[in-house]
Structure 1
Amino acid sequence: MMRAGAHPGMAGRWGKWVGLIRDRRGIAAVEFALIVPILLIMYFITMEASQAIETSKKVSRIGSMVADLVTQQPTIVKADLDAIMKIGTSTLQPYNRSTPDITITAIQFTTDTPPRVNVVWSRKVVNGVYSIGTALPATTTVPATLRVAGTFLIRVESKLGYKPIITWSADSSQTAGLTTVFNNISMGETYYLRPRRSLTIPCGDC
C-alpha cells in the first residue's frame, strides 16, 4: 500500500539511498580492516627503531664509562675489573634480551723505534662469564695517532648482539622467516684512555 499523495518513485529512490549508505559503511569497514595492520606495523617499526638507537648509544657509553673508571685507578685487581664490567653491563637496562661482551686491555708502548705495542694484561666478560681476555705474552694494534713510545693505554671494547623485540622470545626458541634477517644486530664501540693518576695501571692478579 502507498500513502495518499506519495509519489510512486519515492519509495524506490529511498531504498536506493539506504542501500548506498549500507554499502559505504561496508566499504569503510573493509578499509579499516586493511589499514589497521599497516598502522600497527608502522608503530612497531618506529618503536623498535627508537629502542635500537637508544641501545646503541648505551653500548657506546659502556666503553667510555668502563674506560673512565679503570683509568682512575693507580692499581687494580681482577675483582675490581669484574665489578666495573658488571656496572657497565647494567647500563643497558631495561634492555635485557641479550648481554654485552666487554674486553679491557692494558697496553704498553716500548721505547723502541718504532715502538712495539705489548699487552700488559687483559680481562673480558662474554655471555656473563669473566675470564682472561688475551693470553700473554701478546702484542696488539692501535690507531697510528696513539702510538707514542713509552706510554700506557687502556682499551675497552664493548659489543652487543641486539635482538629486536619481534625476533625475541623468553624461552630463546628459534625464530624463523623474515625475522631472522633482523636477529642479532651487531653493535659495538672501542675506547682508548690514558691513566689519570699514574703512568701505568698494574693488575696485581691478572
Structure 2
Amino acid sequence: MTPMQKMSLRVRALVQDCRGLAAVEFAMIFPMMLVMFFGVVEISSAISVDRKATLVARTLSDLTSQMASVTDADILSFGEAAKAIMTPYPVSPLISSVTEVYVDSSTGVAKVQWSKGLTIATTGTVSIAATAPHNPGDIVVLPPALVVAKGTHVVWSEVSYKYVPAVGYLLAKTGLTFNDTAYTRPRSVLCVLYPSAGFTACP
C-alpha cells in the first residue's frame, strides 16, 4: 500500500469517527442553554415582582377605604401587609404611600386632604416617612373617570419597587423600577378621617 493510500484511509477513518460528537455538540449548545435559563429566571422574577407591586398598591388603597377613620398605627399595619405581600423578595426597595383626595363639588379640582408615606428598613421595620409625598391642599391629577364624580373622595395609593436581578444576563444589572397606583372610594363613609394628621371632618 502506497503512502498516499495510507493517508487516504486515515483521513476517511477520521471523517467517519463519531467519538466525541456529543461532547462537541454540548459545548456548542451549552452557552445558549445557560443564557436561556437565566433569562427565563430573570424575566419570570421581574413579572412576579411587578404583580406583587400592583397587589401592594391595591391592598393599601382597599384597606384604607374600608376604614371610617385611620391612625398612624393603622397605616403601619397596612405597611406590614405590604411587606408580607412582597415575600420572598427584599422589602427595603419598596416605597409606598396612601393619600386621600377630594374632588371639589364645584370646580372638579382634585385636592389632597391627607397623605402618608411608608418606609421599610433593610431589617424589615415599617415606619411612617418623615416627609409626606403630598401636602394637604396640593392639586393633583386623577384619571378623568374619577374627577367626573364631583364632591367625592378618593383613596389613592402609590407604590414603587426597584427589582435588581441576581445575575443580569438579559435585564439591566442596575435594576428595573416598577411603579403602580390604585384608586378606591371610601366604602361606608363619605371620607376617611385622619385626626392625628389634622383631618377631622369631611368638606
Shorter chain as normaliser: what TM range?
0.7 to 0.9
SS at match of 1:25: coil
Give the corresponding residue for 2:164.
163
Match of 1:153 in 2: 154
Structure 1: 5+ residue runs without aligned partners?
1-7, 168-177
1:46 to 35, 40, 43: 40
Distance 1:203 1:180 in 2: 42
Provide the rounded CA distance (Å) in 2 between the counterparts of 1:40 and 1:184: 20
- Answering whether residue 92 of structure 2 is matched by residue 91 of structure 1, we say no
Superposition RMSD in Å? 2.7
Residue pairs, 1:125-140, within 5 angstroms: 125-126=118-119, 128=121, 130-131=128-129, 132-140=132-140
Structure 2: where are the runs of 5+ without partners? 122-126, 198-203
Structure 1 position 34, deviation (Å): 2.1
Aligned equivalent of 1:204 = 195
**Deviating runs (4+, > 4 A) in structure 1?**
12-22
Whether the aligned pair in 1 keeps the contact of 2:76 and 2:128 (CA below 8 Å) is: yes
What's the offset of the Cα at 1:195?
A: 0.5
Residue 128 of structure 2 aligns with an amino acid whose one-letter code is Y
The number of residues matched between the two structures is 185
How many Å separate the matches in 2 of 1:93 and 1:151?
35
Change over 3 Å in CA distance of 1:157–1:124 after alignment to 2? same
**Whole-angstrom distance in 2 between the partners of 1:28 and 1:192:** 58
Going from structure 1 to structure 2, the CA distance change for 1:42 and 1:97 (only over 3 Å counts) comes to farther
Q: Deviations over 1:75-114 (max 9, x none)?
A: 00122112202311321111227522111111112222x2
- The TM-score with structure 2 as length reference comes to 0.79
1:144 corresponds in structure 2 to 144
Match of 2:124 in 1: none
How far the C-alpha of 1:18 sits from its partner, in A, is 6.1
Distance 1:26 1:145 in 2: 67
- The secondary structure found in structure 2 opposite 1:69 is helix
TM-score after normalising by structure 1: 0.78
* CA displacement at 1:122 relative to structure 2: 0.4
Distance 2:37 2:128 in 1: 39
The equivalent of 1:184 in structure 2 is: 175
Q: Residue 74 in 1 paired to residue 68 in 2?
A: yes
2:201 corresponds to:
none
Q: Which residue is equivalent to 1:194?
A: 185
Look up the match of 2:97.
103
Contact 1:98 1:162 (8 Å CA) reproduced: no
* Structure having the higher Rg: 1
